[in-house]
Amino acid sequence: MGSQGTPIAAPIGPLNGPAVPQTVSFRIPYAWEEDVPKFITDNYEDLLSFVENVEEILRLGNVIDNAKKKEYFTSLLPYNRRRQWRTLDLYKSGSFNEFLNEIYKDYPEVRLERSGALGRLDEICDEYKGVDRTKEGLLKRFGVEFEAEVSKLERPPALIVNTEAVSKYLQTLESSFARDLWSMVRTSLLLKGGILGFNTLANNGIDVETRKSDPIQLKDLVELAGTMAQTDVQALFTSQPFGTKLVNQNQLDALQKKQKIDQLKQDIAQLKADRTVSWEIDSPRSFEPTTCKGLKGANQLKRRKETDQKSPGLI
């Protein structure tokens, strides 16, 4: 069968020189070898594992003929099962994949595993219900399992759409974490709309109304949740949960500069308030204090009045 039985070439070279690497060809193992894939149970997971391993052998062995694929696949089975599967009509006439699909009919669990089930999605959500931002590892495992199941359910005919998946994901999280996460999503959309202008988004082919009701893909939401779990809010401004930065670095620098200026203004205003002296103006050279906060201000005012009294003729 093609390269079956062909030994693996070893590196060779001159005795007194370095070995010259040679191309190593893959040898398809014989059915009687101990380390070949086996399917000796009725468990659907064992069947899927067996199929996956045999498909990898066929790929590495560059076996592309459907008849040879089916022959090798069944040669690894126990005698009774091999004889049974070789009597199927699609073993004789169908492609390798059609033959596998015929086998899967006897294993309804495989169909559910391959297509996904809403019940299984509910089980995943129940298992991780209430996970919060402090449990980073648990959150990641939830995201992986949830995305994998949703991807099956989204295959035609789809049993779930993105908005439903996003809603189900958020409902599983701890409530305050879910609120903060969704707030960040909405803020991102508003920032993009405010910076670029919603008309610009529409002109670029982006349905603004759809974005408002469906502002983020599940994959991006899971990534953003992971980011929030491992960083503070400030770090989110430079993360890339939507494929592009929420706010670019120039905008972040401008925002930080404005915050510093506003803080400086507040400090100056407070300083002035602490040292303010209110005055009433009686004449160009005569002032009377109504209030004087601080001993230093009172002393200065007293000296000024004494000077005016000593030099009444000076302007």
Cβ contacts of 212 within 8 Å, gap of 6 or more: 189
User: Closest by alpha carbon to 71, among 41, 52, 53, 92?
Assistant: 92
Tokens describing residue 82: 């091999």
The enclosing H or E element of 234 equals helix 233-236
What single letter denotes the amino acid at residue 286?
A: S
Predicted TM-score (pTM) of the model is: 0.46
Q: Could you tell me how many helices (H) and strands (E) the chain has, helices first?
A: 16, 2
Whole-angstrom distance, CA of residue 228 vs CA of residue 236: 7
What single letter denotes the amino acid at residue 81?
A: R
Tokens describing residue 236: 């989110």
Give the pLDDT confidence of 218-264 residue by residue, as tens digits: 999 999 999 988 874 444 444 444 444 444 555 556 666 777 787 78
Give the pLDDT confidence of 106-155 residue by residue, as tens digits: 998 887 777 777 888 999 999 999 999 999 999 999 999 999 999 988 87
User: How many CB atoms within 10 Å of residue 139?
Assistant: 23
70 within 8 A of 92, measured Cβ to Cβ: no
DSSP letter assigned to residue 12 = B
Extents of the domains making up the chain: 1-115, 116-236, 279-310
More confident residue, 159 or 304: 159
DSSP letter assigned to residue 131 = B
Give the pLDDT confidence of 32-62 residue by residue, as tens digits: 998 899 999 999 999 999 999 999 999 999 9
Residue 283 predicted with pLDDT over 60: no
Mode of pairing for the β-strands spanning 279-283 and 286-289: antiparallel
Whole-angstrom distance, CA of residue 247 vs CA of residue 239: 9
Whole-angstrom distance, CA of residue 292 vs CA of residue 298: 6
Q: How confident is the model at residue 28 (pLDDT cuts 50, 70, 90)?
A: very high
Can you give the pLDDT at residue 189? Answer: 75
Residue 157, preceding peptide bond in cis (omega within 30° of 0): yes
